[in-house]
Amino acid sequence: MTKSLCIIFGHTKPLRAGTGRDAVDDWFATGKKHVLNSQLLNACKGLDKDKLRDDLVEILKGIITTDDYSDENLKRAGAAAFGLGSWVAAMVQYYDAMKIVKPKEAALAEAKAASEAAQAAWDAALAKLEKV
């Protein structure tokens, strides 16, 4: 869960624990350094979910679909872990939904502009007709 929080906030390079061949990625240490602090709630509230990067979301999808990220496992880890894990999953779902909605919003704006132009032409033609 710490790894997903680090990634959603853009910390994609984990700290390393150990030395030489025994060195491993330490996402918990990375999380403690960058994310797990008194400002976490504000950071979650302030995240601009409309500006999530494609590459980060793809990494997150790989994480949240694992068995370690199941609701049962997150609940066993604690209420905070479950809540934050659910929040990360919701951000990924929002991102996927917006990939569908944003093009439709753009098409709607274009259609409204075309409708307004047609209405203006109609009103002009109607005004000319009334003069006759």
- Write down the mean pLDDT value for the chain: 92
| pLDDT reported for residue 122 | 95
The burial of 66, by beta-carbon neighbours within 10 Å (0-12 exposed, 13-18 middle, 19 or more buried), is given as exposed
3-39 pLDDT tens trace = 999 999 988 888 889 888 888 999 999 999 988 889 9
Q: Kindly give the pairing relationship between strand 15-17 and strand 24-26.
A: antiparallel
Q: How many CB atoms lie within 10 A of CB 61?
A: 13
**110 pLDDT more than 90:** yes
- Please give the domain boundaries of the chain with CATH numbers for all domains: 2-131 (1.20.920.60)
**109 pLDDT more than 90:** yes
C-alpha span between 14 and 17 (Å, rounded):
9
